[in-house]
Structure 1
Amino acid sequence: MCDEDTVNDNDQYRQNDGTLSRRQFNALTAGTALTMMLPKIANAMAVVESNVSVKTADGVADCVLIHPTAGKHAAVIIWPDILGLRTSLRLMGKRLAESGYSVLVVNPYYRAAAAPIVPDGASFQDEATRNKILPMAMALSADTTTIDAHAFVSFLDQHTSVDTERKIGTAGYCMGGPFTMITAAAIPQRIGAGASFHGARLVTDKTDSPHLMVPKMNAHFLFAIAANDDERDPDAKVVLQDSYDKAGLPAEIEVYEGALHGWCPPDSSVYNEFQAERAWSRLLALFDTALG
C-alpha cells in the first residue's frame, strides 16, 4: 500500500526527472487531459457506461459498469488503487471494455462514502489526501474483500452483457493487487485470471497473507511489480513464484525496470507510459488466454 516511502520516492522522481510541478500536474488531471494521456486502441468497440448500485452484505456499493453495446462478453472486476474510483479508473475501465470485456470498476470505500472519495487531481503526496484516504483503506480486509467479491461476481453473472460460459477476470492496482488474489481464492469456480499492478502486501507474515490463498485458486495470474517495491522486499517475488509453482498454476511475475509504485494509472505523479503500456499488453494477453 502507499506509505511515506512512496511519498518520498515520488517526490524524488519528479525532482530528478524534471517532471511537472504540483500545480501543473493537478491541472493536467482534469478529465479531457486524462483522455489524451491514454493511448487509443486499435479496433475499439463501441461501449456504454453507466453508474450502478451493487447490493452487498454490508450495504450498497456504487460502481461503474462499462461494456460493448452489443453481444455478451467475459466480465472483469477492477479494484482501484488507494485513491479509489475516479475519472482515471473509469477511463481505464472504458479502455478495457473497448477491447471486448464487460467491466465493473468498483468503489471499495462504499461503506464509508460514495465515489469519488477525492477530486480529480488529488495526490497521495498531499497530507490532507492521505489523512482522508488512509483510515478508509486500513478498514478494508480479506473479509470485506471476500464479501464484496461475491456480490460483484453475482451482479456480473446476472447482467445481460456478460457471457457466463466464460471465466471472470480481475485486475487491481496498489492496494487492489491483493484484492485480486482474495477474489480468486474466494470464488475459484468463476475467477479464471487475475492481475496485480504495483500490488501492495502480497506477501506478509500474517495468517491471511494473500500468497497463502494461492492453493484455493484456479486462476492464471500476472504480477507487474514496481522497481522500488522490489527493492524494499526482494523476496516477495520469489515467494509468489514458489506459491504458484507448488499450486500448479501459471503466474507471470516481473519487476518493471524504472517503474515506481503507482506507475499505471494515467493520473499518477509517477505514470510511466512505456511500462504502463507494456503491462497493459500483458493484461490483454492474460485475459485472452485464460478467460475462454
Structure 2
Amino acid sequence: MCDERQLETWARDTLSRRQFGALSGAAALAACASGTTESKASAAAGLKEQGVSFATPDGTMDAFFVQPEKGKHSAVILWPDIASIRESKRNIARTLAGKGHAVLVVNPYYRDVAGEQFADFAAFISQGGFQKVGPWRGKLNAETIMRDATAIVAWLDTQAGVDTARGIGTQGYCMGGPFTVWTAAAVPARIKAAASFHGGGLVRPDYPMSPHKVLDKVDANLLIAVAQDDDAKAPADKTTFADAAKAAGVEAKVEVYAGDHGWMVSDSPAWNAAAATKGEADLLALYGAALA
C-alpha cells in the first residue's frame, strides 16, 4: 500500500505520461459516463445538496452534503484525497446519494482553509499543490482525525435525513484511506463500514496509531482496495493488514485491484473505468451488508 511520502513521485511519474489538456478532457468525459464511480447525478433528480459547516474541537469544519430529497437514509462520510473537495469528489457523493445514502464530503484541511482549493488534480499539480498542502496535511494524524470523526458523526446524527437506527459508512481515497479506519476506531458504535481506495499509510510499523494497529477498537466491516503499483512496492502490507484484522476479529476484504494508484478518481491520471466500476460495486455491496 502506498506510503504518503511516495505520492509526489507517483504524481511526477504518472503525469509525465499524459498532458494536462488530455487529462482534463478525459476527466470531463469520465464524470459523465454511466456505470462508473463518478457518473454525475443531478441534484434535481431526486437529490438535494448544500455546503454546510459545523463545530469541531479544533474549529469549524466545512463540507458538501448531498442526500435524497425524501426519507431517512444511512449516512456516509467521504474523506477525499490530497487535493480535497472538488467536483470529482462531489460527483462520487452524488452517485452514492442516488443509491440512497446521505453523503458528507468533508474538508480535512479546514484548520487552515475553507472550501475548494483546486478544481481538479491537474490544477493541484500545476499550482504546486504538494507544497501548498504540506503544512495542512502535516496536522492530520490519528488523534486529529479521530476528534474530527467524533464531531462529524455527532453532526450527522442531528440531520433530519439521516437514519440513526442504521450504521454509518465511511470511505477514503489515497491519504483518506487510513482516515476511514481511524474514523471507525473513534466511533465504533456508529461506524459499521469503512472502505479505503488506494489508501496510503495503512501499515506504518513505527507508528503506534497505524491503522492496522487500532483494529481492536473497530466494529465495522472493511474494504481495503489496494492499487497494483502500490502493492508492487510494498507487497507484504496487504498480508500484514489482513492478519491484523483477523487477529482483531474484524471482517476485512483486502484485495489488489487491476488499477494503479488513483484509479477510482476521474480527474486522476491513473483513472481506470473498469477498475472504478468494480470498486463502486464492491463499495455498494459493503454498505448494503453492513449498514442495514
Q: TM-score, normalised by structure 2?
A: 0.91
Distance in 2, matches of 1:253 and 1:123, equals: 32
Distance in 1, matches of 2:15 and 2:64, equals: 32
User: Quick one: which of 5, 11, 22 aligns to 2:9?
Assistant: 5
User: Is the counterpart of residue 50 in structure 1 residue 50 in structure 2?
Assistant: yes
Gaps in structure 1 of 5+ consecutive residues:
15-19
Note the 1:1-150 alignment, pairs <5 A. 1=4, 3-11=7-15, 14=17, 20-29=18-27, 33=29, 35-37=31-33, 39=35, 46-120=46-120, 122-126=122-126, 128-150=128-150
Note the 1:244-283 alignment, pairs <5 A. 244-257=245-258, 259-283=259-283
Q: Structure 1, residues 131-185: CA drift from partner, whole Å, max 9, x if none?
A: 1122221221111101110111001101000000000000000000000000001
User: Is the counterpart of residue 166 in structure 1 residue 170 in structure 2?
Assistant: no
User: Is the counterpart of residue 202 in structure 1 residue 216 in structure 2?
Assistant: no
Distance in 2, matches of 1:240 and 1:200, equals: 13
The answer on whether the counterparts of 1:27 and 1:121 sit within 8 Å (CA) in structure 2 is no
The answer on whether the counterparts of 2:147 and 2:186 sit within 8 Å (CA) in structure 1 is no
| Structure 1 partner of 2:229 | 228
| Structure 1 partner of 2:156 | 156
Query: Tell me, what secondary structure is at the counterpart of 1:105?
Result: strand
| Structure 1 partner of 2:288 | 288
The answer on whether the counterparts of 1:29 and 1:121 sit within 8 Å (CA) in structure 2 is no
Gaps in structure 2 of 5+ consecutive residues:
none
Distance in 2, matches of 1:101 and 1:237, equals: 29
The answer on whether the counterparts of 1:193 and 1:219 sit within 8 Å (CA) in structure 2 is yes
Query: Tell me, what secondary structure is at the counterpart of 1:276?
Result: helix
Distance in 1, matches of 2:211 and 2:127, equals: 29
Q: TM-score, normalised by structure 1?
A: 0.91
The answer on whether the counterparts of 1:203 and 1:236 sit within 8 Å (CA) in structure 2 is yes
- Of structures 1 and 2, the one with the larger relative CO (CA 8 A, separation 6+) is 2
| Structure 1 partner of 2:242 | 241
Which amino acid in 2 is paired with 1:21? Answer: Q
Distance in 2, matches of 1:123 and 1:213, equals: 35
1:37 Cα deviation from its structure 2 partner = 4.0
1:251 Cα deviation from its structure 2 partner = 0.6
The answer on whether the counterparts of 2:122 and 2:267 sit within 8 Å (CA) in structure 1 is no
1:236 Cα deviation from its structure 2 partner = 0.7
Q: 1:275 to 1:34 in 2, by over 3 A?
A: closer
Query: Tell me, what secondary structure is at the counterpart of 1:131?
Result: helix
CA RMSD of aligned residues (A): 2.0
| Structure 2 partner of 1:17 | none
